[in-house]
């Protein structure tokens, strides 16, 4: 197989930068790497392996000269560039929410539904960060004991929002420690020393769109239209790594030992669960890592068929860039790219 010409759209953003790192770390078979971004970022230099690569303004022409394009520049940009690139024969793995729920567009987590890539039409959607880590942890259990209902509460890092949010958390933390008042810009309220039950916009039914994504994307990825999901998505003053308290109701009872046994053999999962030594996942331990970490696995005392668990993963890696690159690797392996 010949090596691929790869483009990254949104190359200067947090996920864009993570794309570059992950491609390099995994030795992705590429011949060339084109970095694209908005006009505002064009001309910037990005250092890759000691080499400076110039960032170009995204155009249809530049995009159409590659085999694979990884997009993370927001839904609007994806809607402008992805369909045309796909028509020109480029395979687009899109990290935005633009196409995720569109029928016929695969929404893929390689550990769960790689077969959905078959017959793709050029656009493949990368799921939402909170959804990815949840399905990696739950799908192996669902396969042996169907899940009926999921109640999930998230604790999401500010890096999901982007660089401005990271800066806002740092600035506000300094102000608050200095006894001064912080004025919020990125979020509607202070995020330093605070938590906000608000991610993405609020919808008609009073859930947020992030909560809606966890419900609908989970069903699509797991091919489980009957699973009921209720999420509360919360922003916390953490830089990297999303955490989730998950309560699952199965068709039949499942013991914590069985769940640990299954998850211990599941791809992409790492169990961290030893209460005697205070071993459980937390964002500072998960940041920069590839795995979905699972701990605090216990019986849900509120339901005979219930389990409770705590799931943590790096939202920019498995939650975004790593999952997208794994999709591309899967396509290469199966000869679908």
Tokens of 216: 């609908």
Query: How far is 179 from 312, CA to CA, in rounded Å?
Result: 32
User: Which of 68, 70, 97, 182 is close enough to bind ligand L14 by CB under 6 A?
Assistant: 97
Angle, helices 209-222/129-144, rounded to nearest 10 degrees: 40
Q: Is 156 an interacting residue with respect to ligand L14 (CB under 6 A)?
A: yes
Give the nearer residue to ligand L14 in terms of CB position, either 145 or 156: 156
Catalytic, 129? Answer yes
Sole window of 110-118, 143-151, 155-163, 265-273 interacting with ligand L14 (rule: CB under 6 A): 155-163
Set 56, 120, 129, 142: catalytic member: 129
CA distances from 58 to 47, 69, 163, 261, 305 (A): 19, 11, 20, 47, 51
Query: How far is 49 from 26, CA to CA, in rounded Å?
Result: 13
x/- track of binding to ligand L14 for residues 210-239 (CB under 6 A): x--x--------------------------
CB of 50 to ligand L14, least distance (A): 31
Give the nearer residue to ligand L14 in terms of CB position, either 4 or 73: 73
Q: Is 199 an interacting residue with respect to ligand L14 (CB under 6 A)?
A: yes
Spatial CA neighbour of 13 closest among 110, 101, 78: 78
CB of 200 to ligand L14, least distance (A): 5
CB of 39 to ligand L14, least distance (A): 23
User: Which of 128, 145, 218, 266 is close enough to bind ligand L14 by CB under 6 A?
Assistant: 128
CA-based R_g, the chain, Å: 20
Q: Is 200 an interacting residue with respect to ligand L14 (CB under 6 A)?
A: yes
Backbone angles phi, psi at 302, to 5 degrees: -95, -5
Q: Is 147 an interacting residue with respect to ligand L14 (CB under 6 A)?
A: no
Catalytic, 242? Answer yes
Q: How many C-beta atoms surround the C-beta of residue 121 within 10 A?
A: 12
Give the nearer residue to ligand L14 in terms of CB position, either 200 or 258: 200
CB of 210 to ligand L14, least distance (A): 6
Beta bridge partners of 35: 8, 55
How many residues of this chain bind ligand L14 (CB under 6 A)? 10
User: Which of 145, 161, 172, 326 is close enough to bind ligand L14 by CB under 6 A?
Assistant: 161
Spatial CA neighbour of 133 closest among 266, 306, 304, 300: 266
Q: Is 141 an interacting residue with respect to ligand L14 (CB under 6 A)?
A: no
CA distances from 168 to 16, 67, 179, 201, 252 (A): 20, 37, 16, 19, 46
Query: How far is 126 from 66, CA to CA, in rounded Å?
Result: 19
Sole window of 76-84, 154-162, 166-174, 188-196 interacting with ligand L14 (rule: CB under 6 A): 154-162
CB of 158 to ligand L14, least distance (A): 8
Counting Cα atoms < 13 Å in the Cβ hemisphere of 34 gives 21
| DSSP per-residue letters across 122-159 | SEEEPPPHHHHHHHHHHHHHHHHS-EEEEEEEEEE-GG
CB of 333 to ligand L14, least distance (A): 25
Give the nearer residue to ligand L14 in terms of CB position, either 17 or 156: 156
Query: How far is 225 from 227, CA to CA, in rounded Å?
Result: 6
Residue nearest to ligand L14 (CB): 160
Give the nearer residue to ligand L14 in terms of CB position, either 120 or 213: 213
What is the set of active-site residues? Answer: 129, 242
| Contact positions vs ligand L14 (CB under 6 A) | 97, 128-129, 156, 160-161, 199-200, 210, 213
């Amino acid at each position: 197989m010949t090596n691929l010409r790869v483009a990254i759209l949104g190359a200067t953003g947090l996920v864009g930068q993570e794309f570059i790192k992950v491609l390099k770390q995994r030795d992705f078979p590429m011949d060339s790497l084109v970095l694209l971004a908005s006009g505002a970022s064009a001309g910037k230099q990005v250092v890759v392996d000691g080499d400076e690569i110039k960032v170009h303004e995204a155009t249809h022409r530049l995009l159409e000269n590659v085999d694979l394009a990884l997009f993370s520049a927001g839904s609007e940009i994806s809607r402008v560039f992805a369909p045309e690139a796909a028509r020109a024969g480029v395979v687009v793995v899109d990290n935005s929410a633009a196409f995720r729920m569109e029928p016929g567009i695969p929404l893929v987590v390689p550990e769960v539904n790689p077969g959905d890539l078959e017959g793709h039409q050029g656009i493949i959607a990368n799921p939402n960060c909170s959804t990815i880590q949840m399905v990696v942890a739950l799908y192996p259990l669902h396969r042996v004991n169907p899940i009926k209902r999921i109640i999930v509460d998230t604790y999401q890092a500010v890096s999901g929002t982007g660089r401005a949010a990271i800066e806002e958390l740092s600035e506000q933390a300094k102000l608050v420690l200095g006894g001064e008042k912080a004025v919020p810009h990125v979020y509607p309220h202070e995020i330093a020393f605070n938590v906000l039950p608000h991610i993405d916009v609020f919808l008609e039914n009073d859930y947020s769109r992030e909560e809606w994504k966890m419900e609908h994307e989970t069903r699509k990825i797991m091919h489980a239209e009957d699973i009921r999901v209720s999420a509360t998505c919360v922003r916390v003053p953490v830089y990297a790594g999303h955490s989730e308290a998950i309560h699952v109701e199965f068709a039949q009872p499942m013991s914590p030992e069985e769940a640990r046994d299954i998850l211990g053999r599941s791809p992409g999962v790492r169990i961290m669960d030893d209460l005697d030594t205070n071993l459980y996942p937390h964002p500072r331990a998960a940041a920069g890592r590839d795995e979905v970490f699972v701990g605090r696995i216990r019986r849900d005392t509120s339901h005979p068929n219930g389990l409770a668990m705590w799931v943590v993963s790096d939202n920019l890696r498995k939650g975004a860039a790593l999952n997208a690159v794994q999709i591309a690797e899967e396509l290469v392996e199966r000869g679908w790219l």
